[in-house]
Amino acid sequence: MKWSVCTTGMKEHDVQWVLEQIDLWRREGAPIDGLELWEGHLEPHASRHELESLVEQLGQRRIEVPVVSGYTYFSQGPAEREKDILRIQKLAAIGRTIGARAIRTFFGHIPSAKTSPELWDESLLALRHAATIAYDDGMELWVETHYQTFADHLDALQELIEATHDCHVKLIFDPANFNPDHIDPLQVLDAMYASIAHVHCKNYHWNHNCWYRSQPVSAFDPTGDVNNAAVLRELQGRGYTGYVSLEYFGRRGWSALLRSLVECRGRSA
């Protein structure tokens, strides 16, 4: 297993700033081998035809990009579905150029339990189409497990993978995203391991009565709601060789990310 950092929490900065932070964290001992790059960090380089320069900078640092993080849902009506499919097509070309394996997507914009059969089927059809486009361009589509999406519960995940395995759809397993619905992430990991291609790592003191009052804490804080140490042990026991990506957002999340980077030192991902 290898450590990476997700840059979706650094949207206010450009990719050059991100690379400088990686240089600093590495000098301080953080074992970072990869970046899960947000689409907004890549598109300026693509629009200026400067992706090769970015590839060179990544190569000089020996940084891999396992996945490009996009924001597509396939559930917000016919017009938005078409935009999502075109976006995947664009991100597949960008991802292929920088050596990424996959594009991150969401599946659905409401909880699976509140999804009508028609909306599920229409969204699934669009997701399959996008996954086929990506695969034809040498990329895969990875769905992030996330509360308040169609990929929020074990039953929904099993149905999703059963319906898309021929399109090479895989999962980004985010243990913390099961906590709002009181779901044991280890149970999901056990059932879905064969479909997990990438892992997110973050932690919270989650306020189930008032979500915005939830407080991010470092990944391995023993008082946090997510037992990431147990998740890593389970992954290691199964021979997982992919990336574990630290992911935090906002001012409160920044300090938790910095503490997590310290906790990662000497800890095999």
Distance of CA 26 to the CA centre of its chain: 22
User: What angle in degrees, to the nearest 10, is found between the helix axes of 39-47 and 15-27?
Assistant: 120
Amino acid found at 132: T
* For residue 269, pLDDT beyond 70: no
pLDDT bin (cut points 50, 70, 90) of residue 251 is confident
DSSP 3-state assignment of 252?
helix
Contact 81, 125 (CB under 8 A): no
Note the pLDDT of residue 268. Answer: 66
Residue 135 CB burial class (10 angstroms; 0-12, 13-18, ≥19): middle
Distance separating alpha carbons of residues 101 and 65, to the nearest angstrom? 8
Q: What percent of the chain has pLDDT over 90?
A: 94
pLDDT bin (cut points 50, 70, 90) of residue 149 is very high
CATH ID of 2-264, from 3.20.20.150, 3.30.450.20, 3.30.1360.40, 3.40.50.20? 3.20.20.150
Contact 3, 268 (CB under 8 A): no
Find the helix or strand (DSSP H, E) in which 5 lies.
Answer: strand 2-6
Q: What is the pLDDT of residues 17-69, one digit of tens each?
A: 999 999 999 999 999 999 999 999 999 888 888 899 999 999 999 999 999 99
Q: What is the pLDDT of residues 60-108, one digit of tens each?
A: 999 999 999 999 999 999 999 999 999 999 999 999 999 999 999 999 9
Written as six digits, the tokens of 221 are 């804080």
DSSP 3-state assignment of 24?
helix
Quick one: which of 122, 109, 94 has its CA closest to 37? Answer: 94
- How confident is the model over 221-238, as a mean pLDDT? 96
Q: CA-CA-CA-CA torsion for 67, 181, 127, 137, nearest 10 degrees?
A: 10
Averaged pLDDT score across all residues of the chain: 96
Find all residues with CB under 8 Å of 268, minimum gap 6, and list them. 1, 236
Residue 156 CB burial class (10 angstroms; 0-12, 13-18, ≥19): buried
